[in-house]
Amino acid sequence: MTALLKVVCVLTAALYAQHASAEVRWDDTCQVLTEGTGLTFDQATAKLLDEGIDMANNAMHAIQNPNQNDKWEWFRVFYPFEKLFGKSDKAYGQVMDNLRRITQVRTWEENIYIICNDEGLVYPQGNGKVRRLKATGNTIVYTGEMANTLGDCGPGNPTPGVWAPAGYGFKVPVEVENWEYVVLCTKTFRRRFLSDWHPVEAIGIDNYYSNGGTLFHELMHRGPNAKGEVQNLQGADENYTWNNCIKHPDTGSRNPESVALIAVAISRPDWIFYDDNGRAATREVVWRELSSSAEGQNTIRTYGLTEPH
């Protein structure tokens, strides 16, 4: 969820499994999700996953079944969509495939193990590092460059303005075990659920970050048209933040954060996220800002917008 977030994951198995997944398992560290909620462990973990599934379903419905009689609703959905992904049919299909994949998470072929605190899971050994695999208790040793790519949540309580990880995902070789992992850095983001985020006028959409948002992003890496193996920062293969994502619409449909952002934007029907910083705005504010420039007036004509009342 940030430019330095390191993810090591590989797409595997069939893209649309017809039989039930072996398992989606939550580690006992995810008890943290229950704190202050009044929810049980099962309720809290189900809520985190279900909100992502619902958000993907909602986005698919809005994109596939737009209200053509409401020009402002069309603009709310498709203006940010085109900024993130362009206008090609191929990009449209890839975005829909990736959203659909999220809705099917409970019927994936892959085993998914979700951890909410990675403290002590990665530790040095000799010239490399060891990762303890909590699904089975196995360990795997990494050396060389692979050792440097291992994700780490860090100590938590990040300094304001200083990068801190939101989470990461990884898959180990199948000969070691058949599990894919998602790690949520719950000490970095204290906001747990996607529903806990409420847009504020003029504040950017990047502030949606939560443990639920991280889970959505990491699961998106396993989409049929998503970026399944992410390089390090220098590779510049993955984009984060609204401003960076809209600069790369040609690869947006394969970029997990771009797909997460459109799903989040669509899920908040009272707000439009449209400018270069993804600020939340009402129809009245958008109309006023678009009306103030020749380019904006052209956008008004293109989308057939009329002054909101």
Q: Is the pLDDT of residue 4 over 50?
A: no
Lowest mean pLDDT segment, chosen from 6-20, 120-134, 201-215, 217-231: 6-20
Lowest mean pLDDT segment, chosen from 37-51, 90-104, 138-152: 138-152
Q: Which helix (H) or strand (E) holds 281?
A: strand 280-281
Q: Which two tokens stand for residue 89?
A: 């049919």
Q: What angle do CA 235, 238, 239 make, to 5 degrees?
A: 120
Q: Which two tokens stand for residue 116?
A: 């909410």
Listed residue (215, 257, 256) closest to 115, CA to CA? 215
If one compares 109 and 282, the residue with the highest pLDDT of the two is 282
Strand intervals (E) in 133-270:
139-143, 167-171, 179-184
What global pTM score does this model have?
A: 0.88
Q: Is the pLDDT of residue 232 over 80?
A: no
Lowest mean pLDDT segment, chosen from 12-26, 90-104, 267-281: 12-26
Cβ contacts of 67 within 8 Å, gap of 6 or more: 73, 74
Answer yes or no: are the C-beta atoms of 129 and 41 closer than 8 Å.
Answer: no
Q: Residue 274: its pLDDT value, please? A: 87
| Alpha helices for the chain (secondary structure H) | 41-64, 71-85, 89-103, 144-148, 211-220, 242-245, 256-266, 283-291, 294-303
Greatest alpha-carbon pair distance for the chain in Å reads 68
Strand-pairing partners, residue 140, are 131
Cβ contacts of 295 within 8 Å, gap of 6 or more: none
The three-state secondary structure class of 38 is coil
Q: Is the pLDDT of residue 109 over 90?
A: no
Q: Residue 2: its pLDDT value, please? A: 32
Lowest mean pLDDT segment, chosen from 19-23, 133-137, 187-191: 19-23
Placement of tokens 């599990």 in the chain? 179
Mean pLDDT of 136-142: 95
Q: Residue 249: its pLDDT value, please? A: 96
Q: Residue 267: its pLDDT value, please? A: 97
Rg of the chain (C-alpha set) = 20
What is the phi/psi pair of residue 114, to 5°?
-110, 125
- C-alpha neighbours within 13 Å on the C-beta side of residue 117: 12
Q: Is the pLDDT of residue 16 over 70?
A: no
Mean pLDDT of all residues belonging to the chain: 88
The three-state secondary structure class of 91 is helix
Cβ contacts of 175 within 8 Å, gap of 6 or more: none
Mean pLDDT of 172-178: 90
Q: Residue 12: its pLDDT value, please? A: 30
**pLDDT per residue over 243-292, tens digit each?**
999 999 999 999 999 999 999 999 999 999 989 999 999 999 999 999 99
Mean pLDDT of 9-22: 38
Mean pLDDT of 51-66: 97
Listed residue (172, 194, 167) closest to 183, CA to CA? 167
